[in-house]
Structures are given as C-alpha cells and as structure tokens.
C-alpha cells in the first residue's frame, strides 16, 4: 500500500513538474511569441516604428501612421492585441498635425477592415472583439484620456496573461507626467518591462543640421500669430505667496533675503489651481493664445525638468504645471506659448559664478549645474528640448533676454516654432507711435506688476480695451498679463478685467481679429483696422461715444457723427455698429465719408457718467461706456 502511495505521489510530482515545465516552456515560449505579439508603441513617433519593424525584422520602414495588418501578420505577428496610442497632442515629435494624420490614417484603416478589426476603447472591449475572432485595436485619442486608457489596456493585457511588453521611450515619459492617480511607474513595475534605453531619448530629438536651419520665423506661423491678435500672458511662481514682483527682489538682495526668497518654494502649494478654468476664462476674454512663464529670472522651473532640482515637482504641489497649462489651453483651442528667461539667478546662486545682471544669460560659463551636471548653455538647451518635445504642439517660445543660441536650438528641434520676444519687437507697457506691417507685440500688465500683487493699482477695463484697439490699428498683438494668486486662482481684479474684455470682444471682437492696419491708423479719435477681402476692404472704425469731437462728454448711449477722409465708399457699402441690429446713415462727398451712428444696444447698466445736469437726477445709464466698433463694408482707401 505504502509503495503504491509513493508511486502515485511521484507520478503526480513528475506530472506536475511536466506541467510546470510545459507551462514554463509555454509561458517562456508564450512570452517569447508574445514578445512579438503585443507591442505597445505610440505610432506618431517614427522611432517607435523603427523599433517595431527591427524587432519584427519586417525590412523597410512603413510610412508613419500606416499600420499594415497583413504585413504584420506576414511578419508572424499575432496581431490579436496591437495597442496603438496616438497621443496626438501630448507628444508630437514633429507637431500635432502629424499626430492628426496618423489618427485619420488609423481610423480609415479600421473602417476599411471593419470585418477584421475593431476599435477597442476599454479593456472589456478587447475581450468582446477578440472573442468575436476579430483584431482588437485599443485606440485612445484625447490627451489625459490617453493615459488612463493605456494604463487600463495594459492592466487588461495583464489580466489576459501577458507578462512582458516592448515600450518605447515616449510612452514611459507619458506616464511620468500624466498625473494619473497611478504612482509613477507603478503601472509598469507591475507588468514588468523592457524600455528602450533612456539614452535613446536624446537620439529621438532630431536636430536639424546647423546649415539647414532657417534662422527666422515661419511665414505661415507669423500670419497665424498676426491674425490671433490677443493673447494671455501669465507670470506665476512661489513668490506670489508674498505678493512681491517675480525674481526682481533677488536683485541687490542680501544673502539672507535670497535664502528667504528661495525658501518660498518649500511652501508653494497652489491647491486651487485649475488650468481648465484659466483656459475657459482666457477663451471667454477672446484670447487666441497663451504665453506661460515656464522659468523666470529666479530660475524656478514650473515644469518637471531633469536639468534642475529647483522645480515645481520638488514642492508640496509636486505636479508639472506646464503640462496642465499646455493641455488645458490647447483643449480650449488656444495656441500654446512658453515664456523662458535665459537669465538664471539660480545657476549663479548654486554655482557661485558671478552674474552680470538678472536678465543676462551666462552662455559662456562651463561650470556644471544640476542633476545632469550640464554647462549653462547645455542646461538651458536641455530645457528648450524638453519644452518643445514633451508638452504637445507648442506654437511659440518667448525668450526674455539675449537668446541667440537658444533660439537656434529651438529652430533646430522645431523649425516652425514661432519666436516672440527674441525675434520680433515686443514693446513692454507701451504702444509704438506708428503702424508696422510686420509682427510685433505689446505686452502689458493689468496693474503695474507682472506677478500677483495683493493691492494692485489696476488699469481700467476701458484703458485695456482702448490699448487693444490702438495696438491692432498699428498692426501689433496685445499680450495682456495676469499674475495668479498663490492658491492658483486668477485674482478677482484680473478676472474682472478679463470678463469685461470678454463682453467687449463678444460685441466688437470682429474689429480686432484677423485684421491689419488701414492706410492710416486713426483719424482723430477714430481708430481703424481692416480685413482684407479681395478688391474691397471691410473697415472697422472704433471710437468712443462718450464724448464728441470737441471732447464734450456725452452720455455713451447716444449718437456720434464723424468723417473719415481716408475712405471711399462704394454703392455696396453698408455701415453698422457691430453686435447691434440695423444700419447707420452715411454719405460720401469730397470731404470724405460721413457717418452718423446711434448706439442702441442695451448691454450694461452703469452709473450716469456725464456731467450734463439735466441727466444728473437719473443717475444710471445704458452702457458700457467703452469704445464702439462700426463696420464699413466694401470700401477703398483714398490715397492722398
Ligand atoms: O524682467 C522681466 C519682467 O519681470 C517681465 O517678465 C517682463 C515681461 O515682458 N520682462 C522683463 C522686463 O523686461
């Protein structure tokens, strides 16, 4: 009996061993075969393709975006589970446009092969589609959404017994920045991984050869910039906790003060920061682009850079703010721009290299700095690489100081990135006296300080609007600055000005969007812009109704007669107040085009502004008493 019992146990053991070996073989074999099966790559990056096809030794590289299922099959890939990530906006090596092409190509391929393949949006989709004997293609589209989805899919692969994956560099970074609730790398450790060596990152940033780079802005981008016309400038940092100006308190400061200034980063925790709310407000204000301070003169980085420890991810807040700003503003359809200060006080503070001035970059300094121990120039060029390759399609960079080597490096990475300050005139807090038919931009604060100030001495909304009109009439852009509060919210005074601007742009935005200067910028206090359309022009005359040509103050809700000597009307000409129904009277004679306009659009109730005693007792009036825009179609200039 006992012998019999030993024999049975032995058999079981051997059997078990066999099964184990079998299983090992199969799982090893399975892993091996699977290695060829489940490949996770973000297909907008050619590098991933190269990896894919080299692994699958499918010979020549297929054009990006063209996922050729039959070829994969040929290559022995069981395309049961091919995960594709098209992170269109988060990671455009080249630019978002390429990502969109990939997306379109992929969706078309799936449509054309719907009997064989099907889009899988969630893990459970994969199961259903595979069960139906079709190919499941998990496709994630929207930025943040992409992250969760991909993590979800990977968990699904895991549930399906997949034990290893090939992951290219981009995907890994993606998780790092996603802010997904998964602790960093958490998802990956769980699944085991083989990552293309970090060093590949550098190689994946293709730099245009020095002799091929065009050292000027892309003409198309320049037109887009000039059409955009109005942008939001944002100065923000740990200094906002004490309402001082950003960086400048370090100038001529005592060692003790510098220590205290830099210690502010240890308590910076903007828990009420909501980039989406900022973006919605900017959009409402009629803004078309944003320029956000990624690093100001104090050297504090609002992004998760590997080139410096003095960064937002080393504060109690610990999340990449630039990533959130880029994604949120892009989602609202605004163009994303990054402000960058070449002057870096922190470099000098840590290395002891003397600084020639807060805004003066030490490009010649070879003293190593930061975790990567880079020279000054390599440190800042590293930043430019990160800013242009890790946050989606970046429309413009704004270098606040000498920047030749950085500008060149930026154009070698992204030839079509638009450079604001550093390449175009950017007058600060003032408006040049005459029009210019090239790109320029006037940056202005809502008060006088760039970053948050508890008791700001504010500009009026009317002043901000009039500045915008004058800047547009002279062919420039206005970059209006706000300084968010330390908790992350836009301050009430700044929000009030943005909402006022939003109301004005809702009524009269057409007069400042996609316009260029007229032959004259203004005739007395009537400011002129034009929209070029073929032989004739559509002219916009923007003027204040609350006083007449003699400067006598009048109640804004009234009429205005004025004459334009530079304009020749045609039979088809129509004159109307933008946003108001009906048309205005006009006639043309040798003296010019005479217009009479009555403001009847009851938009806002305001206190009676006039000093006409007859009205004093009424004490309210229809307003707002902001400049009014009049549209004059089908006109020609009178050339004097
Ligand atoms: O010193 C900076 C200042 O803080 C702010 O950033 C402005 C914005 O144009 N630029 C510098 C002053 O010219």
Kindly list the structural domains of the chain, giving each domain's residue range(s) and its CATH number in brackets, ordered by start.
20-197 (no CATH), 213-511 (3.20.20.80), 515-637 (no CATH)
Q: How many CB atoms lie within 10 A of CB 180?
A: 17
Tell me, what's the pLDDT at 383? 98
Tell me, what's the pLDDT at 69? 46
CA–centroid distance, 51 to ligand 1, in Å, is: 44
**What is the C-alpha separation between 389 and 91, in angstroms, rounded?**
7
Q: Which of 246, 360, 400 to mutate to test the pocket of ligand 1 (most atoms within 8 A of CB)?
A: 400
CA–centroid distance, 189 to ligand 1, in Å, is: 44
CA–centroid distance, 375 to ligand 1, in Å, is: 25
CA–centroid distance, 400 to ligand 1, in Å, is: 7
Q: Measured at the alpha carbon of residue 321, what is the angle toward residues 350 and 271, in degrees to the nearest 5?
A: 105
Distances, alpha carbon 198 to alpha carbons 169, 188, 203, 274, in Å: 7, 15, 10, 32
Q: How many CB atoms lie within 10 A of CB 64?
A: 19
Q: Whose CA is nearest to atom 5 of ligand 1?
A: 450
CA–centroid distance, 217 to ligand 1, in Å, is: 22
Q: Which of 299, 448, 450 to mutate to test the pocket of ligand 1 (most atoms within 8 A of CB)?
A: 450
Task: Name the region of 619 (left: φ>0; alpha: ψ -120 to 50; beta: rest).
Answer: left
Contact 242, 264 (CB under 8 A): yes
Residue 233 alpha carbon, nearest atom of ligand 1: 8
CA–centroid distance, 337 to ligand 1, in Å, is: 16
Residue 235 alpha carbon, nearest atom of ligand 1: 6
Residue 247 alpha carbon, nearest atom of ligand 1: 4
Q: Phi and psi of 173, rounded to 5°?
A: -55, -45
Helices of type H across 93-235: 96-112, 123-131, 143-159, 169-178, 186-191, 200-204, 219-228
Q: Within 13 Å of residue 59, how many CA atoms lie on the same side as its CB?
A: 4
CA–centroid distance, 467 to ligand 1, in Å, is: 19
Residue 358 alpha carbon, nearest atom of ligand 1: 1
Contact 317, 268 (CB under 8 A): yes
CA–centroid distance, 235 to ligand 1, in Å, is: 9
Which of 224, 231, 286, 287 is CA-nearest to residue 481? 231
Q: Which residue spans within 265-349 are E strands per DSSP?
A: 289-295, 335-340
CA–centroid distance, 79 to ligand 1, in Å, is: 54
Residue 481 alpha carbon, nearest atom of ligand 1: 8
CA–centroid distance, 363 to ligand 1, in Å, is: 20
Q: Whose CA is nearest to atom 11 of ligand 1?
A: 400
Tell me, what's the pLDDT at 130? 65
Residue 359 alpha carbon, nearest atom of ligand 1: 1
Q: Whose CA is nearest to atom 2 of ligand 1?
A: 400
Residue spans of the chain under pLDDT 50: 22-69, 71-72, 76-96, 139-151, 153-154, 157, 160-203
For residue 624, whether the previous peptide bond is cis, meaning omega lies within 30 degrees of 0, is yes
Q: Across the strands, what pairs with 569?
A: 635
Q: Which of 232, 251, 428, 477 to mutate to test the pocket of ligand 1 (most atoms within 8 A of CB)?
A: 428
Work out the end-to-end distance of the chain between its first and last CA atoms, rounded to an integer number of angstroms: 122
CA–centroid distance, 428 to ligand 1, in Å, is: 8
**What is the C-alpha separation between 560 and 546, in angstroms, rounded?**
9
CA–centroid distance, 460 to ligand 1, in Å, is: 21
Residue 426 alpha carbon, nearest atom of ligand 1: 9
CA–centroid distance, 450 to ligand 1, in Å, is: 7
Tell me, what's the pLDDT at 560? 86
Residue 296 alpha carbon, nearest atom of ligand 1: 6
Residues with CB under 6 A from ligand 1: 235, 246, 359, 400, 428, 443, 450
Residue 293 alpha carbon, nearest atom of ligand 1: 6
Distances, alpha carbon 556 to alpha carbons 25, 155, 266, 314, 475, in Å: 86, 64, 51, 53, 27
Residue 421 alpha carbon, nearest atom of ligand 1: 9
Q: In what order do the strands lie in the sheet with 335-340?
A: 418-419, 396-399, 335-340, 289-295, 230-234, 477-482, 441-445
Q: Whose CA is nearest to atom 10 of ligand 1?
A: 400
Residue 339 alpha carbon, nearest atom of ligand 1: 6
Strand 536-543, strand 135-140: pairing: unpaired
CA–centroid distance, 23 to ligand 1, in Å, is: 66
């Amino acid at each position: 009996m006992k012998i019999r019992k030993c024999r049975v146990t032995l058999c079981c053991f051997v059997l078990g061993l066999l099964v184990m070996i079998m299983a090992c073989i199969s799982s090893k074999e399975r892993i091996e075969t699977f290695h060829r099966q489940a490949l996770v790559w973000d297909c907008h990056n050619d590098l991933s393709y190269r990896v894919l096809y080299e692994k699958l030794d499918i010979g020549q590289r297929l054009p990006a975006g063209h996922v050729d299922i039959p070829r994969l099959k040929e290559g022995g890939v069981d395309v049961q589970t091919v995960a594709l990530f098209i992170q269109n906006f988060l990671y455009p090596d080249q630019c978002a446009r390429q990502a969109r092409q990939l997306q379109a190509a992929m969706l078309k391929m799936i449509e054309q092969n719907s009997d064989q393949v099907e889009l899988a949006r969630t893990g459970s989709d994969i199961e259903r589609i595979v069960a139906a004997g079709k190919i499941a293609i998990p496709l994630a589209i929207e930025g943040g959404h992409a992250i969760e989805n991909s993590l979800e899919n990977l968990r699904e692969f895991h549930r399906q017994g997949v034990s290893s994956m090939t992951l290219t560099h981009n995907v890994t970074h993606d998780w790092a920045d996603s802010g997904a609730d998964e602790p960093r790398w958490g998802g990956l450790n769980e699944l085991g991984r083989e990552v293309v060596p970090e060093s590949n990152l550098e190689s994946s940033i293709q730099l245009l050869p020095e002799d091929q780079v065009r050292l000027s802005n892309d003409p198309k981008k320049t037109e887009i910039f000039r059409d955009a016309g109005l942008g939001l400038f944002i100065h923000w940092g740990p200094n906002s906790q004490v309402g001082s100006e950003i960086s400048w308190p370090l100038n001529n400061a005592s060692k003790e003060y510098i220590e205290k200034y830099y210690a502010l980063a240890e308590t910076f925790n903007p828990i009420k920061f909501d980039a989406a709310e900022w973006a919605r407000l900017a959009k409402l204000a009629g803004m078309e682009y944003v320029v956000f301070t990624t690093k100001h003169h104090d050297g504090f980085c609002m992004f998760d850079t590997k080139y410096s420890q003095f960064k937002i991810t080393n504060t109690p807040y610990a999340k990449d703010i630039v990533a959130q700003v880029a994604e949120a503003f892009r989602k609202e359809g605004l163009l994303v721009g990054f402000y960058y200060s070449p002057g870096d006080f922190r470099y000098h503070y840590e290395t002891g290299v003397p600084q020639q001035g807060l805004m003066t970059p030490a490009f010649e300094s070879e003293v190593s700095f930061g975790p990567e121990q880079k020279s000054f120039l390599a440190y800042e060029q590293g930043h430019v690489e990160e800013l242009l390759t890790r946050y989606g399609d970046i429309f413009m960079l704004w270098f606040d100081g000498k920047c030749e080597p950085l500008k060149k490096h930026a154009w070698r990475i992204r030839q079509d990135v638009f450079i604001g300050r550093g390449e175009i005139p950017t007058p600060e807090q003032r408006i040049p006296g005459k029009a210019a038919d090239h790109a320029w931009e006037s940056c202005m604060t809502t008060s006088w300080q760039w970053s948050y100030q508890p008791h700001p001495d504010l500009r009026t909304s009317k002043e901000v609007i009039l500045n915008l009109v004058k800047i547009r009439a002279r062919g420039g852009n206005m970059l209006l600055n706000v300084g968010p509060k330390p908790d992350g919210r836009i301050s009430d005074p700044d929000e009030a000005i943005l909402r006022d601007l939003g109301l004005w742009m809702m009524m009269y935005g057409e007069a400042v969007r996609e316009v260029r200067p007229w032959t004259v910028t203004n005739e007395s206090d009537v400011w002129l812009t034009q929209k070029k359309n073929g032989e004739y022009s559509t002219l916009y005359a923007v003027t204040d109704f609350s006083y007449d040509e003699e400067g006598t103050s009048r109640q804004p809700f009234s009429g205005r007669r004025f004459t334009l000597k530079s304009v020749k009307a045609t039979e088809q000409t129509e004159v109307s107040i933008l946003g108001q129904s009906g048309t205005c009277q006009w006639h043309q004679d040798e003296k010019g085009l005479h217009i009479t306009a009555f403001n009847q659009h009851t938009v806002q109730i305001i206190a009676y502004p006039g000093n006409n005693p007859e009205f004093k007792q009424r004490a309210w009036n229809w307003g707002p008493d902001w400049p009014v825009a009049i549209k004059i179609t089908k006109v020609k200039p009178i050339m004097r």
